[in-house]
Structure 1
Amino acid sequence: MRDLHLPGRSAVYARNGLCSTSHPIAAQVAIEVLKSGGNAADAAIAGALVLGIAEPQMTGIGGDCFVLVKPAGSEEIVALNGSGRAPKGLDAAALRARGLTAMPIQAVEAVTLPGAIDAFCRLNADYGLKPLADIVAPAIHYAEEGIPVAPRVAFDWADDLPSLKGAARDFFTLNGQAPTVGQIFRAPGQAEVFRRIAKEGRAGFYEGEVAEDMITSLQALGGTHTLDDLASTACDYTAPVSGPYQGIELVEHPPNGQGATAILLLNILKHFNIKAMDPFGTQRAHIEAEATKLAYDARNRFIADPAHTTRLDHMLSPDTAAKLAALIDPSRAMAQAAPLTEAVHKDTIYITVVDRDRMAVSLIYSVFWGFGSGLASSKFGINFQNRGAGFTLAEGHPNEAGPGKRPMHTIIPGMIRKNGRVIMPFGVMGGAYQSTGHARFVSNLTDFDMDPQSAIDAPRCFSGAEGMQVERGYSDAVRADLAAMGHDVNIPETPIGGAQAILLDGDILIGASDPRKDGCALGY
């Protein structure tokens, strides 16, 4: 139990249903859906759509999602890939001929087709209890009436303001400026889109006037996107991948998400006595950083569109982890194994819901960078993601940009099983950090016996493209020790990621929510 004399956050205990996410209004919407007869799938979709209005810099209907679902009365976990594809006109050779050596980041070339709405409609049809119109209604309300801007949202919005271009500046600023805390953000154009989805389903988004607005806007910006590209967008059910660690099983989405990276990372950490280390000390931070470099190097080599991913079995093999673990010097930092191919970002939302029948949903939903591409459709104000920045232009690489391909994704929902039973849906936001965040969260739970809220609250560090980022929750002595070992140490301006989790503990649900975000866990 935490020291109640000190600032902190208690976990939320409930019996009938619980939601944990990064904005309280979205959590409340999810609970209202549960109380009105919806299930966890209905509630997660409703909350996610509202998050696009509450945190538009992080997510929106122009983005992608991945979902893990444990149906009621079952311990099976179903994976739904709601990531969109590149337009058929995307040509890596043509981009190289222009002199580009990497994908543009916040530009029309990086815009992939939005996959989330198709996935939400499919999830509602296959697993939901309530009509889609009922699920979309809260998003219509909040898009019209507006939501006061929360503190973390205001911080991110100001930071991401320079990325907004053209129509996006009209729809996502207040008189050209980022809104301040408490100002009201409204999205009446998106409210109209939601009304059409409520009436027509996915056709209200992928066909007709809304589709024409998106494609016309993208083509005017120089994009190769077509109405056929948009209309053919479709989600896929896939089989999760998993791996054991200290008595539990981590369940992840398969490629094109990076979930296999978290499993490889834990497989590497098994070769070290993490449990004997100070959880917030130098040695654990160092070993985790070195394991991250090696696991992410494998990710960058192998993970791509599912039809192009190579050697996934090799990534998940214990033999591979053993060989990588042997490369780690316990006293000295190595250079990055290879330059990161992925554009660095930190922007995502995550929502998890468990209902009275113990259906569990783990859902992550993003536009990639802050405000995605920084571009929006001219009529309805749909913010386009820049997930295509996750491609590489290296010729012949599995993740090479190409027509109709899905790029490597950083966003990954997670679940934990123990003795064959699902005990926890969870997610860790933070872009590239997510695989390391999953591994650290699992290690916090198992190696150090932390409860979910403590495991989320605990200080974080991450060795990536921006050096060895070490949150202020670590001591200066640890930072000095890491620097002496050769790490390029810095304190990040923005806290590392965010996380949400729900523990299924017998008849009780226990919700945890990251104080690094504005959100909370709510139950009833």
Structure 2
Amino acid sequence: MSFQPFAFPSRRSYVVARHGLVATSQPLAAQAGLAVLQAGGNAVDAAVATVATLCVVEPCSTGIGGDAFALIWSAAEGRLYGLNASGPAPAALTADLVRGQGHVTFPARGGLAVTVPGSVRGWQLALERFGTRGLDTLLARPLDYARNGFPVSATIARAWQGSAELLRRLPDSSRVWLPGSRPPRATELFRNPEFAATLQTLAEQGYDTFYAGPIAAQIAAAVRADGGVMTEEDLAAYQAEWVEPITIAYRDGYAFHEIPPNGQGLAALLALNIVKGFDLAGLEYGSADYYHLLIEGMKLGFIDAQAYVGDPRQVDVPVAGLLSERYARQRRALIDREAARWPEPGRPPRHGDTVYLTVADEAGNMVSWIQSLYMGFGSGVTAGATGIQLQNRGANFSLEPGHPNEVAPGKRPYHTIIPGFITRDGRPWASFGVMGGFMQPQGHLQVGVNLIDFGMDPQAALDAPRFNWLRGREVALEAAVGEPVRAELARWGHALLPRETAVHYGGGQVILRDPDSGVLAGGSEPRNDGAAVGF
């Protein structure tokens, strides 16, 4: 494993390990996963222990009241599995019902925005197929943190503060998340005894206790009390599913893999398929040409994803046509090398606040896992006395009649959270992800190009300054991008936000595996509290 010298001063070095490595957005959670690996568990065991700990120590971003997706490389089978643990709209939720309440866009918060939480069924599917440890073992560390407390880290404290008004809206949310009537400050201990009791129930009685019985009853009641229509039957009917990853060949034997719709991984693959037609490595890294090509490619990816992505169980999503080489050439031809554009969706040929973590073990298994409540603290609804905060994934539904993503009973919404994976010559090479709403495909594009086209090590690939395309010609650039580059992009028609504008540029992790030695190299995002740890 070798990396190209890179002029950009990376903020810290990457982590190397032989036996196992965990990288995620919070150090306590990374260490919980590492402890499972050190005790003989595999990458899937460690992934569930890590994400369960994140549900306790990073409650603004994730919880068991949210959804999950994963890409899992099975070393024993030599293949990549996709896991979709995103939940649908309740059976009584219709577009006419929402429009009838006066909404022209789907409400972002409150009971209507709550879709069935899928993450616990995702844990179940992953562990029953690949795990070697039980929930009682894997939930021990998060249960301890919930019961006895954990010290709140700096980035999470800031995010918690930003959600204070949302949490004051409902008594259960205020009681659980605002002890002493305020968010906890950095370094203060936070305890969640109600969630500890919920975790204890899961550990002792299993996954079904989340989807039926007292916990499910409290979830449904809390949603209905805040204007939603969820029932206990909606929860009881839910199952996660295995899906076939969608893939594009990139260059030099590399291939990118994403979860298929209803996720937005399609946007990342569309953009990568377009930009691979340019000699990116021949450009000066960080130049105006470099940013321009990636921004324009990303726009094209988003435009098509937002036009076509829906729940493939209810609508036809032309994935094969969108990812075809012929279509990529057509869309690539729309890019003007010296002008920012805002094109329309294409017509493809048709054929019949989030957490991310990655884990690799000594046997060759790798897990790319992402789980989220969507916006900070999700819907703002906490389920009775369970300590569970509920997601607001319904916010991404469309109310446009006939749109593939128009809300309908049992339909899963357009989903922002996406795990990423890269193979090289058919072998596992990189497990990676970048959290942050609609920044996620943009992060996959930028980090992926950094790794492959510019040969960066995993930490440098994460540290490098990013863009965040927002809408139309509007784009934000991190402060490290110099004025000459900004001036050139502005001259080409990009509407750049002022440098001081507060914009989120995502948070990610990467693990690379040396195909010859098996040595692991990991990096973790400097834009949050992340850590990569190994042994």
| Equivalent residue, structure 1, for 2:187 | 182
The Cα of 1:95 is off from its aligned counterpart by: 1.6
Distance in 1, matches of 2:480 and 2:154, equals: 20
**4+ residue runs over 3 A deviation:** 1-7, 335-338
Question: Are 2:230 and 1:254 aligned?
Answer: no
Cα 1:286–1:377 change in 2 (3 A) is same
Distance in 1, matches of 2:320 and 2:518, equals: 37
Aligned ranges 1:277-288 → 2 under 5 Å: 277-288=283-294
Residue of structure 2 aligned with 1:497, choices 506, 515, 525: 506
Deviates more, 1:40-49 or 1:502-511: 502-511
Deviates more, 1:421-430 or 1:476-485: 476-485
CA contact (8 A) 1:293 1:464 kept: no
When normalised by structure 2's length, the TM-score is: 0.93
Question: Are 2:130 and 1:127 aligned?
Answer: yes
CA offsets per residue over residues 297-328 of structure 1, 9 Å max, x none? 10011111121242111211111111111111
The Cα of 1:397 is off from its aligned counterpart by: 1.1
Question: What SS does the corresponding residue of 1:175 show, helix, strand or coil?
Answer: helix
Distance in 2, matches of 1:222 and 1:517, equals: 34
| Equivalent residue, structure 2, for 1:16 | 19
Question: Are 2:256 and 1:245 aligned?
Answer: no
Distance in 2, matches of 1:381 and 1:401, equals: 28
| Equivalent residue, structure 2, for 1:377 | 383
Distance in 2, matches of 1:112 and 1:226, equals: 11
Question: Are 2:453 and 1:453 aligned?
Answer: no
The Cα of 1:462 is off from its aligned counterpart by: 1.7
| Equivalent residue, structure 2, for 1:235 | 240
Distance in 1, matches of 2:122 and 2:415, equals: 16
Aligned ranges 1:126-275 → 2 under 5 Å: 126-164=129-167, 165-166=169-170, 167-247=172-252, 248-275=254-281
**Matched AA of 1:423:** W
| Equivalent residue, structure 1, for 2:79 | 76
Distance in 2, matches of 1:200 and 1:132, equals: 9
CA contact (8 A) 1:53 1:186 kept: no
**Matched AA of 1:137:** A
The Cα of 1:168 is off from its aligned counterpart by: 1.5
The Cα of 1:271 is off from its aligned counterpart by: 2.6
CA contact (8 A) 1:34 1:40 kept: yes
Question: Are 2:534 and 1:523 aligned?
Answer: yes
RMSD: 1.8
Cα 1:162–1:281 change in 2 (3 A) is farther
Q: How many residues align?
A: 516
Question: What SS does the corresponding residue of 1:261 show, helix, strand or coil?
Answer: helix
The Cα of 1:416 is off from its aligned counterpart by: 0.6
Aligned ranges 1:341-490 → 2 under 5 Å: 347-465=353-471, 467-490=474-497
The Cα of 1:139 is off from its aligned counterpart by: 1.4
Cα 1:6–1:284 change in 2 (3 A) is closer
Cα 1:324–1:3 change in 2 (3 A) is closer
The Cα of 1:502 is off from its aligned counterpart by: 0.8
CA offsets per residue over residues 220-266 of structure 1, 9 Å max, x none? 11211000001111100011111011221001111111112111101
Question: Are 2:300 and 1:294 aligned?
Answer: yes
| Equivalent residue, structure 2, for 1:513 | 524
CA contact (8 A) 1:205 1:211 kept: yes
**Matched AA of 1:509:** L
Distance in 1, matches of 2:130 and 2:409, equals: 31
Question: What SS does the corresponding residue of 1:30 show, helix, strand or coil?
Answer: helix
**Matched AA of 1:368:** Y
Deviates more, 1:75-84 or 1:145-154: 145-154
The Cα of 1:3 is off from its aligned counterpart by: 9.1
The Cα of 1:418 is off from its aligned counterpart by: 0.4
Cα 1:218–1:59 change in 2 (3 A) is same
Gaps of at least 5 residues in structure 2 are: 346-352
Distance in 1, matches of 2:90 and 2:484, equals: 50
CA offsets per residue over residues 400-443 of structure 1, 9 Å max, x none? 10101101111111111001101111111121111121111111
The Cα of 1:270 is off from its aligned counterpart by: 2.0
| Equivalent residue, structure 2, for 1:341 | none
Cα 1:255–1:213 change in 2 (3 A) is same
Distance in 2, matches of 1:260 and 1:202, equals: 30
The Cα of 1:6 is off from its aligned counterpart by: 6.5
The Cα of 1:396 is off from its aligned counterpart by: 1.0
Question: What SS does the corresponding residue of 1:190 show, helix, strand or coil?
Answer: helix
CA contact (8 A) 1:193 1:204 kept: no
Question: Are 2:107 and 1:104 aligned?
Answer: yes
CA contact (8 A) 1:121 1:132 kept: no
Question: Are 2:91 and 1:88 aligned?
Answer: yes
CA contact (8 A) 1:269 1:291 kept: yes
Question: What SS does the corresponding residue of 1:517 show, helix, strand or coil?
Answer: coil
CA contact (8 A) 1:471 1:495 kept: no
The Cα of 1:48 is off from its aligned counterpart by: 0.2
| Equivalent residue, structure 2, for 1:323 | 330
Deviates more, 1:208-217 or 1:476-485: 476-485
| Equivalent residue, structure 1, for 2:348 | none
Q: Percent identity?
A: 38
CA offsets per residue over residues 39-91 of structure 1, 9 Å max, x none? 11111001101101111111111000001111133320011111011100101
Distance in 2, matches of 1:175 and 1:484, equals: 52
Question: Are 2:282 and 1:276 aligned?
Answer: yes
